[in-house]
Structure 1
């Protein structure tokens, strides 16, 4: 099952945010959030099943992706973690959603984790790809193990003008390479990439992506309007919402470690599952495992 729902738009404080909606308007809300370099197609085998079970399922395009657009031409095209979280909170406010179950990985997981940590009353439950996704930016200047530095080559590439020019000229080819490197065991990946690639043609994609990877290493200033949120993350806040972390054993960015380094970041119900043969694009590579985690939390909380 991979039915694509009709496209909707909602005006937030910064964005005309495009999103796909499944299910009935009165259903309990589940929000599914994609990462970089992905889009809502990652949830095509998950959203319709949740809708059939009576949930209202919303799948937004993040800032810089697909049909989502900035309202003001002068607004900073920030990709920092506070911007992603504020967009999610604004999205919920604009649609008058008091509380939702959040599901996300990569950038989307970061937004979900921050909202769960700072606005716990807005989150019923959380399924997060690769655990606690809130960045400890102050620690980013410390060198990591050489193998980790090797995996982060694309981030350092984006720190340079060459990287800006390369992403601008070769965004589809570069993102396709990342799909392959990050999900080396995913047989279906190459055939599905074309369904997502057009989302990177957004006019703000390059600027948002470049800022995201520069800000997290303190090579670019953040949006002053978001500084209060960033300051609230300096001492990483715990997440109290019932949570399940799904980690890809074959993740080409950061393979799941044997020891759960995020255990202390969750103060409520928390489980971690390592998915064999799964890379970075968790919901699209492992839709059944993702769906089971969502339903487990919805059925038990």
Structure 2
């Protein structure tokens, strides 16, 4: 069921499925995807007794800013603040969080900074909190070339390209990031409708510029960014999933991140799965969400 609620600086649109009295699970999509990434996952979790909340992130779908004066920030602290505000607005004191890409970042931040609000964490590609202070340091070329789109967004040519050709660009990213996923046009267009949000371009550009220290963040979010600069550990029960054919994630996956998870932790690699893990491997993703809440301390 599609619902909307005022939460923080947004009117967040979200889907609610499953048992209203069930254990809460919040599923968070990434860029350039939307809530449809979780269609099959939500069906499985509903059968496991969950109350599933799947929001459109800021800049996507029907989610809207409440004020024209609010900075259209895409920084990591904004995503986390939105998630915390949504949980407060829905009166959810504690939930199992699951996400990948932008959504995984929001989930990781809450797990690190507000662990009392997180029963368990499923994260695509491991520890997903940005190290902005170190972003200017070059990485090995094998990893750098995967981020060409981020460098493209740093300039005005890329900004114009995203504005004018958002569907074509996002379709290309889907293909490059998930080379073994044979999605059809209907599947893509169901999600691509979310990119017509009037703030999509501004939020995306700010996200990929802020993470490299090229633009200032929202001053209201600086306290969160200050805490994230310390690269805090994650102590809640966690499962990290890597897509074995992910075309944008780190070569070799995120197994090296295990030291950043100080609580119960499991890591899995999913062969022939790309970046959009929940939509490409819904059974494995849903199983991880159900499993993490049964881990010690969940």
Please state which band the TM-score falls in when normalised by the shorter chain. over 0.9
Distance 2:223 2:187 in 1: 39
Q: SS at 2:116's partner residue?
A: helix
Distance 1:179 1:63 in 2: 20
Residue number among 201, 213, 216 corresponding to 1:218 in the alignment: 213
> CA offsets, 1:127-175, max 9 Å, x none?
0000000000011000111121111110011000011110000000100
Q: Does 1:10 align with 2:2?
A: no
Q: Does 1:74 align with 2:60?
A: no
Match of 2:273 in 1: 278
Match of 1:245 in 2: 240
Match of 2:39 in 1: 44
Distance 1:268 1:262 in 2: 13
Query: Do the aligned residues in 2 keep the contact of 1:101 with 1:124 (CA within 8 Å)?
Result: yes
Residue number among 107, 110, 113 corresponding to 1:112 in the alignment: 107
Match of 2:174 in 1: 179
Residue number among 149, 156, 159 corresponding to 1:161 in the alignment: 156
Distance 1:238 1:152 in 2: 25
Match of 1:3 in 2: none
Match of 2:195 in 1: 200
TM-fit CA distance, 1:226:
0.1
Match of 1:140 in 2: 135
Q: SS at 1:262's partner residue?
A: helix
Residue number among 98, 107, 114 corresponding to 1:103 in the alignment: 98
Residue number among 135, 139, 144 corresponding to 1:149 in the alignment: 144
Unaligned runs of 5+ in 2: none
Unaligned runs of 5+ in 1: 1-5
TM-fit CA distance, 1:95:
0.5
Distance 1:278 1:195 in 2: 20
TM-fit CA distance, 1:188:
2.6
Question: Matched residue pairs, number?
Answer: 296
Residue number among 44, 53, 60 corresponding to 2:48 in the alignment: 53
TM-fit CA distance, 1:189:
5.5
